């Protein structure tokens, strides 16, 4: 593996209660060029996984109070998609093999050579979960884990149901799955079942023959045929009329389609994905959606959480949208101020990622200076997080923008061990601005 490839890999988490061995493993991987985190026990490892993106966990088996097998089960539940390699003694091989049946990627027998460790890391370590073409941002551990699960699911041909609130990025995930599937070089066809009138939806989906209805002057392939060899996304599937659901079910079962007005069955080789922003079980219970079709579509369910549940992605997404729109809006070099970032983090985002993109576009147009300030976001009159979510630990007082800004700056400085050069990169501000802010905080503390 070349050095540039290594830099695009997620860090390895070493979990080992023997300090000397843990430090030796860390040193081995760091010398080889791999980013590394470490933890002395299972609880510390789980806490770190909540805060950081990790591409591989290498864990000892014999630890207390939580052993490696228990840690494996916890990771599989809370962070599906992250590979786990267990380090075990010769006498525990049978248990290690059983652990592989329960989700472990592999096991390393102690003692092992550094070359063996590096070989396993190269084999199982996950890449950075960001695809420039699909526009997927996954800085928050919750979305990073979901993205890795989506990548695993993409390798199969199973039908997937993507659910989540409007604006969460269900189609983005669908395109990501197509791009990471064996069908990536074939067509990706999307159809919004809610946007097409009922009397046209059948012909749009299944196609029609000449003379099938008034105006059908020539045959037309439907979306299913257009997606041949590739992926078909049925967006907002819950809005499909009941009359069409029976025909769709037959198409999915038989893997063939008949055009409207036609008699010939056309064989299909496609991957079907579906999305909905509604509770599908509730719709089925009320008789508005066929239960058999629901189970046919819901082979693998993926729920995309709302933006408020993965706040670690808010600022990275905002920066991504700014970079994406900078050329079109002629605002290259525009940055988010610290106060603007704090404002974004305090907002509840009822419209999710789609709303964030619109807010950033508006702010880029309206911002008069070289930085987008909090007031340029125009979020004052839109619902924010509940008061309980905004309270700080000391005294329960709601923080104002200035307090949030200070907290954000000081936490960022702490995370880079006080390095101002690294802090300004993470904050997206100039060193001059940082010096000015820190001087203000010193004067305020003297008062």
Question: Quick one: pLDDT at residue 432?
Answer: 63
Q: Where in the chain is the domain with CATH 3.40.50.2300?
A: 3-124
Question: The domain 3-124: what is its CATH number?
Answer: 3.40.50.2300
Question: Quick one: pLDDT at residue 130?
Answer: 47
Q: For the beta carbon of residue 193, count every other beta carbon within 10 angstroms.
A: 22
Class of domain 309-379+389-446: mainly alpha
CA 294 – CA 330 distance, rounded (Å) = 46
The per-residue DSSP string of 212-250 comes to: SSTT--S-EE-HHHHTTTSEEEEETGGGS-HHHHHHHHH
Question: Quick one: pLDDT at residue 428?
Answer: 62
**Using the 8-state DSSP alphabet, how is residue 171 labeled?**
H
The per-residue DSSP string of 111-155 comes to: S--HHHHHHHHHHHPPBPS-BTTTTB---SHHHHHHHHHHHHHHT
Angstrom distances, CA of residue 26 to CA of 38, 43, 84, 87, 122: 8, 19, 16, 14, 15
Residues near 372 by Cβ (< 8 Å), separated by ≥ 6? 322, 334, 335, 336, 337, 340, 360, 363, 364
Contact (CB, 8 A) for 268 and 255: yes
Kindly give the confidence (pLDDT) of every residue in the chain, 447 residues in length, as a single tens digit, with 9 standing for 90 and above.
Answer: 233 333 356 789 999 999 999 999 999 998 888 889 999 999 999 998 887 878 899 999 889 899 998 999 898 877 766 889 999 876 667 777 777 777 788 888 888 888 889 989 988 887 654 444 445 778 788 888 888 889 889 999 899 999 999 999 999 999 999 988 999 999 999 999 988 888 789 899 999 888 878 777 788 889 999 999 999 999 999 999 998 999 999 999 999 999 988 888 999 999 999 999 999 999 999 999 999 999 999 999 999 999 999 998 898 899 888 878 888 888 877 888 888 999 999 999 999 999 999 999 999 999 998 889 999 999 855 444 444 444 433 343 334 556 767 777 887 787 777 787 787 777 666 666 677 677 667 666 655
The per-residue DSSP string of 252-293 comes to: HHHTEEE-BT---EEE---EEEEEESS-HHHHHHTTSS-HHH
Question: Quick one: pLDDT at residue 220?
Answer: 87
Q: Where in the chain is the domain with CATH 3.40.50.300?
A: 141-305
Beta strand pairing call for 220-221 and 207-208: antiparallel
Q: Where in the chain is the domain with CATH 1.10.8.60?
A: 309-379+389-446
3-class SS of residue 298: coil
CA 348 – CA 167 distance, rounded (Å) = 13
What is the layout of strands, in order, in the sheet containing 271-276?
Answer: 188-192, 231-235, 271-276, 160-163, 300-303
The per-residue DSSP string of 302-361 comes to: EE---GGG-GGGHHHHHHHHHHHHHHHHT-TT-EE-HHHHHHHHHB--TTHHHHHHHHHH
CA 207 – CA 214 distance, rounded (Å) = 14
**Using the 8-state DSSP alphabet, how is residue 209 labeled?**
-
Angstrom distances, CA of residue 309 to CA of 345, 349, 350: 11, 10, 11
H/E stretch holding 39: strand 36-39
Going by CATH, does the domain composed of 141-305 fall within 3.40.50.300? yes
Nearest 5°: CA angle at 370, between 366 and 373? 60
Question: Quick one: pLDDT at residue 393?
Answer: 36
Q: For the beta carbon of residue 111, count every other beta carbon within 10 angstroms.
A: 10
**Using the 8-state DSSP alphabet, how is residue 37 labeled?**
E
Beta strand pairing call for 256-258 and 265-267: antiparallel
CA 402 – CA 386 distance, rounded (Å) = 19
Q: Which residues of 168-183 are buried (b: 16+ CB within 10 A; e: fewer)?
A: bbbbbbbbbbbbbbeb
Q: For the beta carbon of residue 71, count every other beta carbon within 10 angstroms.
A: 25
């Amino acid at each position: 593996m070349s050095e540039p490839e290594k830099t695009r890999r997620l860090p390895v988490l070493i979990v080992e209660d023997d300090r000397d061995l843990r430090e030796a493993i860390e040193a081995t991987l760091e010398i080889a060029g791999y980013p590394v985190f470490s933890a002395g026990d299972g609880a510390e490892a789980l806490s770190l996984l909540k805060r950081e993106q990790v591409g591989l966990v290498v864990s000892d088996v014999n630890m207390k109070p939580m052993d490696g097998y228990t840690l494996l089960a916890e990771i599989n539940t809370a962070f599906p998609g992250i590979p786990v390699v267990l380090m075990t003694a010769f006498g525990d091989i049978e248990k290690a093999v059983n652990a592989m049946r329960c989700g472990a990627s592999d096991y390393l027998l102690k003692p092992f050579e550094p070359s063996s460790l590096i070989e396993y890391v190269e084999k199982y370590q996950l890449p950075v979960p960001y695809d420039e073409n699909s526009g997927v941002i996954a800085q928050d551990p919750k979305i990073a884990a979901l993205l890795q699960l989506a990548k695993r699911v993409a390798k199969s041909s199973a039908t997937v149901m993507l659910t989540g609130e409007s604006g969460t990025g269900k189609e983005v995930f669908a395109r990501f799955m197509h791009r990471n599937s064996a069908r990536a070089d074939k067509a990706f066809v999307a159809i919004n079942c809610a946007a097409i009138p009922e009397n046209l939806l059948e012909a749009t989906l299944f196609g029609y023959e000449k003379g099938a209805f008034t105006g059908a002057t020539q045959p037309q392939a439907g979306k299913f045929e257009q997606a041949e060899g590739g992926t078909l996304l049925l967006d907002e599937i819950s809005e499909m009329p009941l009359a069409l659901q029976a025909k769709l079910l037959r198409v999915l079962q038989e893997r063939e389609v008949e055009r409207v007005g036609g008699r010939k069955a056309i064989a299909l080789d496609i991957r079907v994905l579906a999305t909905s922003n509604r509770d599908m079980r509730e719709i089925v219970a009320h008789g508005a959606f066929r239960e058999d079709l629901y189970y046919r579509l819901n082979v693998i369910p993926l729920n995309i959480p709302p933006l408020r549940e993965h706040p670690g992605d808010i600022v990275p997404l905002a920066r991504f949208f700014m970079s994406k729109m900078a050329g079109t809006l002629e605002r290259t070099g525009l940055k988010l101020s610290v106060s603007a970032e704090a404002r974004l983090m305090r907002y509840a985002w009822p419209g999710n990622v789609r709303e964030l993109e619109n807010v950033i576009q508006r702010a880029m147009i309206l911002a008069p200076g070289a930085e987008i300030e909090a007031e340029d976001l125009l979020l004052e009159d839109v619902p924010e997080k509940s008061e309980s979510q905004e309270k700080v630990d000391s005294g329960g007082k709601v923080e104002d923008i200035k307090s949030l800004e200070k907290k954000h700056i000081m936490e960022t400085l702490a995370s880079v061990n006080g390095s101002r050069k690294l802090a300004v990169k993470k904050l997206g501000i100039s060193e001059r601005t940082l010096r000015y802010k820190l001087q203000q905080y010193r004067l305020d503390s003297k008062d």
